[in-house]
Amino acid sequence: MATTAVRHANHRVRLQRPYYALEAGTELHRYQETDFIPRFLQDLESHALEQPQASIWQFQDRFSRHDESVVLRLPIHRSFYLISCEIACDRPGFPALDPARIASAGFVIRSVRGNEEHAWMLEDGAALGWQPAAAEPRDPDARRRLCPDGSVRPRQDTPTYSGEETHPLHPVVTRDRNGKCRTVLYGYLPLGGFHYYQHSAGETPFDAASERSVQQALERQLPWPFGLREAPARRRWRDGDACHVEGGRPTMAFFELLRMLVNRYHLGEAGIVENAGLEELLGEVRFLNVRRGRESEQVRPRESLAEYLRSCAGHGGDNPLLRWIIGQEDTMDRHGGAAPLAQLPDATQPASDSSGSIEYRLEFTEAQAARLRELLLARVSGQLTERAREVPIPKFQQGRHDLYQVVPFVRVLDGDGREHLVWATAGQRSRRFRVAAPFDPEASRPAVIQMPGLADLKRGLAKGVSMITPADTFNLIDRIKFKKGVTADAVPDSAPPGGTLQWICSFSLPVVTLVAMILLMIMVSLLNILFWWLPWVRICLPFPKLKR
């Protein structure tokens, strides 16, 4: 590499397009090998970057559904990207800057939506996501913004980073074909990253219109009076809306409510703090033991609905209510799925102690039903909010307005050792680009898998894939009859002979590969009835052997 560069300490500097770039701005480089940095330095030294072929990919990789912007692939597509720019003294001839004057150099990635710019922000090393970028140029490191004029010296320790996320640029001095000295900055362009949504109490992480649509869909999951599935004209309280269990037989609306409370929220199980509001309300709703006389009814309150659910849940995996719900679902499926519970045999709710069935009545007041609707909506809204905190949000999206741009910067030392921050101008930024989705078919590159020949299926021992198998799992596998399948006694109640003896099971890799291919083609053919996708699934062409 060349080693001569201008050492004048007080000249202003500028970031500009590299001398080998065909267009203005920071240059993007694509490599499809993992040793892309040595390849780039080799191409730089051999002047290969000055050839038009070095940037032809920028006109080929324009397969976005939205516009003609260049699309960058991900490392999963075996594609890697570098960015490069040139730094020079801002005086006639633009001589190369001595790398000794560079305190540090890097670049940021901006999300560009029309005239709006967003920066990927970090706080104490944790990603905050895209936030509006500052209108004025400033140091991306929040802790270095007090040091631009030298009045405050930088800290000597290395605190956790806060500010806009940056990526390093590395200087290299080279010469162009005319022998002129050049200082090039280059760096790896990472296309990964994510953040978790962070919000304060009472703040929703969701889009308002989308959240309202979800709330309406949730309200329609249950029939009236526990939900709003029916038409608005039907959503008025009537005398018949109060009673939902008579003689132990629930209404269909109450059955769906029970199914949701047990399956989705595990109501009655201990230790679920989020169910406290529902349990408090259902503690006010009591079963009634009704005895009919000749002229009147004798009504005696029994256990509350909350107590009933807790007693059922106390049986653990042998929950009588859960077994009853599964049985009623199977019975309704056999009757076409639309039969009311009143017309089905054995539809009476089970007793919480598994001793038989209950023959009680259960009634809700209008206020209790309205409060239950509110609590159910709040419960699922809380679930969604908690889930939103756990879902990693990718840094790069593939929407219509998701365009990105690289902006380089450099911190230059003057003669007194003070740092001066220099940003690339608007014309010296990179071209705007998109980022491909992981499974974008246009971004995928061929992945070759060598299929075994039929002659390989019966050669040697089965030693391709080995699995350490616990004793109980091995006992289950060993009981599988290849002609009969799994029998009812495949899972024994007691431990198998040998106690905790584990096994190692090995399978033939050629057989496993061929079986996977056969199963794939079977499933593709079956699902083709629905999707009609065969023309896009497989292309088989005769392929000559490659030269060695």
Lowest mean pLDDT among 201-215, 287-301, 318-332: 287-301
Q: In this predicted structure, what is the pLDDT of residue 477?
A: 79
Lowest mean pLDDT among 20-24, 480-484, 518-522: 480-484
Average pLDDT value for residue range 333-358: 69
Residues 273 and 322 in one domain: yes
Residues 461 and 512 in one domain: yes
Residue 137 counted as domain residue? no
Cβ burial 368-383 (10 Å sphere, 16+ → b, else e): bbebbbebbeebbbee
Residues 220 and 306 in one domain: yes
Residues 498 and 420 in one domain: no
Q: Is the pLDDT of residue 3 over 50?
A: no
Strand partners of residue 362: 245, 287
Residues 487 and 361 in one domain: no
Using 50, 70 and 90 to split pLDDT, how confident is the model at 455?
confident
Instruction: Please give the distance of CA 120 from its chain centroid, rounded to a whole number.
Output: 18
Residue 446 counted as domain residue? no
Q: In this predicted structure, what is the pLDDT of residue 479?
A: 77
Average pLDDT value for residue range 306-312: 94
Count how many domains the chain has: 3
Q: Is the pLDDT of residue 412 over 90?
A: yes
Greater pLDDT, 196 or 403 = 403
Residue 126 counted as domain residue? no
Residue 138 counted as domain residue? no
Q: Is the pLDDT of residue 316 over 80?
A: yes
- The span from the CA of 171 to the CA of 182, in Å, is 10
Residues 357 and 491 in one domain: no
Residues 185 and 296 in one domain: no
Using 50, 70 and 90 to split pLDDT, how confident is the model at 485?
low
Residue 136 counted as domain residue? no
Q: In this predicted structure, what is the pLDDT of residue 237?
A: 92
Which of 264, 98, 100, 242 minimizes the C-alpha distance to 181?
98
Residue 547 counted as domain residue? no
- The span from the CA of 351 to the CA of 243, in Å, is 19
Residues 318 and 235 in one domain: yes
Cβ contacts of 345 within 8 Å, gap of 6 or more: 331
Residues 115 and 37 in one domain: yes
Residues 215 and 342 in one domain: yes
Q: In this predicted structure, what is the pLDDT of residue 416?
A: 83
Name the residue range of residue 69's domain: 13-119+167-192+396-435
Using 50, 70 and 90 to split pLDDT, how confident is the model at 49?
very high
- The span from the CA of 175 to the CA of 132, in Å, is 39
What is the three-state SS of 263-317? HCCCCCCCCCHHHHHHHHHHCCCEEEEEEECCCCEEEEEEEEHHHHHHHHHCCHH
Using 50, 70 and 90 to split pLDDT, how confident is the model at 6?
very low
Residue 159 counted as domain residue? no
Residue 507 counted as domain residue? yes
Which of 386, 252, 427 minimizes the C-alpha distance to 328?
252
Cβ contacts of 264 within 8 Å, gap of 6 or more: none
Main-chain dihedrals φ then ψ at residue 43, nearest 5 degrees: -65, -35
Report the SS3 class of residue 63.
coil
Instruction: Please give the distance of CA 388 from its chain centroid, rounded to a whole number.
Output: 10
- The span from the CA of 108 to the CA of 119, in Å, is 8
Cβ contacts of 315 within 8 Å, gap of 6 or more: 354
Lowest mean pLDDT among 32-41, 318-327, 477-486: 477-486
Greater pLDDT, 535 or 127 = 127
Greater pLDDT, 298 or 380 = 380
Residues 526 and 429 in one domain: no
Average pLDDT value for residue range 20-43: 94
Using 50, 70 and 90 to split pLDDT, how confident is the model at 533?
confident
Full-model pTM: 0.76
Q: Is the pLDDT of residue 490 over 70?
A: no
Greater pLDDT, 242 or 154 = 242
What CA–CA distances, in Å, run from 333 to 17, 180, 320, 341?
69, 82, 20, 12
pLDDT tens per residue, range 372-397:
999 999 998 888 888 888 889 999 99
Residues 185 and 313 in one domain: no
Average pLDDT value for residue range 508-515: 87
